[in-house]
Amino acid sequence: MFGAGENVFVMEGGGRGMNEAIVDSLYCWPVKGLSGQPLDEMRLRAHEPCALDRLWAIERAGPVFDAAAPRHIPKGKFLQLVNTPALARLKSRYDPQTTGLKLFEDGREVASGTLASAEGRRAIEDFLARWLGDLAPARPRVVGTRRHHFFDVPKPFVSLINLETLKELERHTAKPLHPHRFRANIYVSGLPAWEETAWEGRELLLNGKPAFIAREQIGRCVATEVNPETGERDVVIPRMLLTTYGHKNCGLYLEPIADVRLKPGDVLGVAS
Do 86 and 166 share a domain, yes or no?
no
Statement: residue 244 has pLDDT above 80:
yes
Contacts of 140 (CB under 8 A, 6+ apart): 58, 59, 60, 79, 125, 128, 129, 132
Q: What does the pLDDT read at residue 10? A: 31
**Nearest-angstrom CA–CA distance, 177 and 171:** 10
Statement: residue 112 has pLDDT above 70:
yes
Helices 237-245 and 163-173 cross at an angle (nearest 10°) of 90
Q: What does the pLDDT read at residue 4? A: 34
Looking at the structure of the chain, the number of domains it has is 2
- Residue 24 gets the label, from left (phi > 0), alpha (psi -120 to 50) or beta, of alpha
Mean pLDDT of the chain: 92
Do 186 and 26 form a contact (C-beta atoms < 8 A)? yes
Domain range for residue 86? 56-144
Do 167 and 265 share a domain, yes or no?
yes
Q: What does the pLDDT read at residue 18? A: 59
**Nearest-angstrom CA–CA distance, 219 and 215:** 13
- Supply the CATH number for residue 198's domain: 2.40.33.20
Least confident of 19-23, 146-150, 177-181: 146-150
Do 28 and 135 share a domain, yes or no?
no
Domain's final residue, options 144, 176, 193? 144
- Residue 50 gets the label, from left (phi > 0), alpha (psi -120 to 50) or beta, of beta
Mean pLDDT score, 155-160:
95
Look at residues 256, 221, 241, 207 and name the one whose alpha carbon lies nearest to residue 83. 221
Do 122 and 163 share a domain, yes or no?
no
Statement: residue 267 has pLDDT above 80:
yes
- What are the start-end ranges of the H helices in 133-198? 163-173
Look at residues 217, 219, 215 and name the one whose alpha carbon lies nearest to residue 254. 215
Mean pLDDT score, 233-238:
95
Statement: residue 7 has pLDDT above 50:
no
Do 108 and 169 share a domain, yes or no?
no
| DSSP helix/strand/coil, 263 | coil
- According to DSSP, the β-strands at 56-59 and 141-144 are antiparallel
Do 43 and 186 form a contact (C-beta atoms < 8 A)? no
Do 111 and 242 share a domain, yes or no?
no
- What are the start-end ranges of the H helices in 65-212? 118-132, 163-173
Q: Name the amino acid, one letter, at 93.
A: R
Do 163 and 125 share a domain, yes or no?
no
Do 64 and 134 share a domain, yes or no?
yes
The answer to whether residue 149 is domain-embedded is no
The answer to whether residue 218 is domain-embedded is yes
Beta bridge partners of 109: 104
Do 184 and 88 share a domain, yes or no?
no
